[in-house]
Amino acid sequence: MSNAPTMDSNTFMLNFHKLPDRSRSHHAEDLANYPHCSFVADGQELCIPHALDVLDILYCSSRTTVYSAVAVCHPDGHGTVTELVLKLTSEQKALVEAGNYDAHVALQGKVIPRLYGVLFGETDSENGEGEDLGCLVLERFGSCLKQPFHELPSIDNRNVLVKDGEYRIANFGHIMVHEWDCDWSYKFVDHIGEDEYRPEHDGWGCEIIRRKAAAMGFWTDYKLRLLPFFYVAKSDELPTQEEINRMNTEIGIGVRIVYHTEDLNDLAIRYYKHVKILLASGRSLEELVPLRSEIAYKIHEQWHAEKEIPFFTSYPWENSDMEPSLEAGSD
């Protein structure tokens, strides 16, 4: 006979005993009966098993701890593992974030993670601060984005998840509520690949959404960004945007000269075309990234020679016998 406690449909058991030993404290330690903690669904119908094993801590701060968890179901005698994310925070914060997820239910499982529901647990009065905790139960999707967000520095990389070429945006605890009288009717899916927003055809709609979409690069997605305000069409002669971001370096390094916009654009194209040649020849990004300044120097040197413009920089090898360690050659 099993000694496991009988649980009604409103009760869930979260087992934290499989967590690896950690010196840093986390929110679950404040729960009553830790590491075997009872939670209630408060009348919700959650389509998940009632016993969950917590395996690891994905993120921990003074206000929130995010855990990975699994549930093993045996509906037909065969084990099926359901991977979940449990976000433990104050009851009030959990309810606010759950409301934000519910307001975007059409996006769940497509753009944002699926929210299965919210559980509530009591803190140990001797250890906790008297406030019960809320636990958002979310689908586990992929891993955190590895590359930095060059275009959207206000979004934390750990809140963007990637798996098999698909993405999810997580953490809705501090989203801004948009104006309810918004007139935006532009369907982004109908305009993929277009290079600009044409209000005279598509309606003026909402300037806030238009600015956000422009900042995300929606109308420049099929282009490559070589300089802050210089985009070119994607080409087999140029690296990918990720490679360009990794090889980003200063363009317009000469002193005693004023580069015009077209000069900087020309130099950028020459530089990245040569990067593509080096990559195609078998050089790796890891090898080339430390040599960005040397590559750019030789490209500028060639450009100045063609234009018959004296070339001076503040680079150390100009005043010594040093030479850049990578020959650029001509295209």
pTM of the model: 0.52
Identify the burial level of 296 via C-beta atoms within 10 angstroms of its C-beta, where 0-12 means exposed, 13-18 middle and 19 or more buried: buried
**Domains of the chain by start residue, with CATH:** 11-141 (3.30.200.20), 178-220 (no CATH), 222-331 (no CATH)
Quick one: pLDDT at residue 142?
Answer: 67
- Residues 6 or more apart whose Cβ sits within 8 Å of residue 252: 259, 263, 264, 267
Structure tokens at 252: 């317009």
Q: Are 234 and 222 in contact (CB under 8 A)?
A: yes
Per-residue pLDDT of the chain (331 residues; tens, 9 = 90+): 334 445 567 889 999 988 887 667 899 998 988 999 999 988 777 878 888 999 999 889 988 999 999 986 654 445 566 889 999 999 999 999 999 889 888 888 888 888 999 999 998 766 545 678 999 999 887 666 555 444 444 455 566 766 766 777 777 666 677 766 787 888 887 887 777 777 767 666 788 888 888 877 788 767 898 998 898 988 999 999 899 999 999 999 999 899 999 999 999 999 999 999 999 999 999 999 999 999 999 999 999 999 999 999 887 656 555 555 555 444 4
